[in-house]
């Protein structure tokens, strides 16, 4: 099995620092979410040649978006960063079509 498809301990750690911390302690760490997003984008690049995306990656993308949106309902500091949830959703969509964030340039028609 390709290493890109195996369990990713680093992704798990990043998930805990961002998503799990927000869900369990209502603490929004913008830097942790940015780091998670950047890591997932690098993961997207590594997975471009693969026909499958690991469930761990898919769950992390969905959970990041869901956690931010759910906590934004009652935490003002999260509400001001709700756009980050859209970034995770967009990255999920891009991974499905085999692209990364760098493949999308603002203002360019596709």
Q: How far is residue 38 CA from its own chain's centroid? A: 8
- Report the C-alpha gap between 11 and 18 in whole angstroms: 11
Give the predicted TM-score (pTM) of the model: 0.91
**Nearest by Cα to 57 from 107, 11, 13:** 11
**Per-residue model confidence as pLDDT tens digits over 37-80:** 999 999 999 999 999 999 999 999 999 999 999 999 999 999 99
**Per-residue model confidence as pLDDT tens digits over 78-109:** 999 999 999 999 999 999 999 999 987 777 66
């Amino acid at each position: 099995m390709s290493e890109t498809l195996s369990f990713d301990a680093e992704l798990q750690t990043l998930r805990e620092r961002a998503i799990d911390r927000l869900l369990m302690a209502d603490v929004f760490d913008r830097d942790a979410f940015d780091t998670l997003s950047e890591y997932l984008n690098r993961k997207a690049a590594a997975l471009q040649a693969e026909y499958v995306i690991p469930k761990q990656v898919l769950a992390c993308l969905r959970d990041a978006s869901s956690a931010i949106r759910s906590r934004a309902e009652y935490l003002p500091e999260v509400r001001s960063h709700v756009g980050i949830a859209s970034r995770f959703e967009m990255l999920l969509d891009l991974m499905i079509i085999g692209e990364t964030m760098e493949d999308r340039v603002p203002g360019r028609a596709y």
